[in-house]
Amino acid sequence: MNTKAFFGLVLVLASMVVSSAFADGGSHPESAADYTVTLQSGHEITVVQPEAQLVCSNILELLKTANVNSSEPKTRDWPDFQVPGVQKDYRWTVGRRYFLVSFKQAQTIKTMGGSVAVREVVIGLNSNTGRNQLFTIGDDGRVVSYALYSGPVWLELMKAAKNIAGDDA
């Protein structure tokens, strides 16, 4: 087996382990009527079923794998997780390509860093940025930034965005 094939196998196995480890953490929208998914890619694209279900599931899975978030006391001294850093990364992300999942009711999601209540999830789809690109917005309007989440799941979302937008960006 060559190195590239071996690495691909490792990524697939890792994503399977992550998926099964977090399969039961938190509430989930019960039907497609409970949420909407849009892709911002120069213009707004409403993602329809069955793609919306897959994107929403992958985004929730990605969120569950996040090890830290800006609402945790241990991250309050981290420059990227202080309010100016979170807002800077959030503005940068929503100025480019991203998925947005909006829920009719707040959802409680169990992440590696603890449970969070979310009304919207924003995931940036911009390669090699060095910025946090995963955010939630609660009923109170507070933007929370996340880090140390699953690379393989994020790559699946990148692929989905390219397919939905019909481009190679």
**How much of the chain, in percent, has pLDDT values that exceed 90?**
61
- pLDDT per position as a tens digit, 142-164: 999 999 999 999 999 999 999 99
Q: Where are the domains of the chain?
A: 3-165
Beta bridge partners, 36, equal 102
* Alpha helices, H only, the chain: 3-21, 51-64, 83-94, 151-165
pLDDT of residue 76: 78
Higher pLDDT, 34 or 167: 34
Q: For the chain, what is the mean pLDDT?
A: 82
Q: Do residues 91 and 72 lie in contact, with contact meaning Cβ atoms separated by under 8 Å?
A: no
- pLDDT per position as a tens digit, 87-145: 999 999 999 999 999 999 999 999 988 889 999 999 999 886 778 899 999 999 999 99
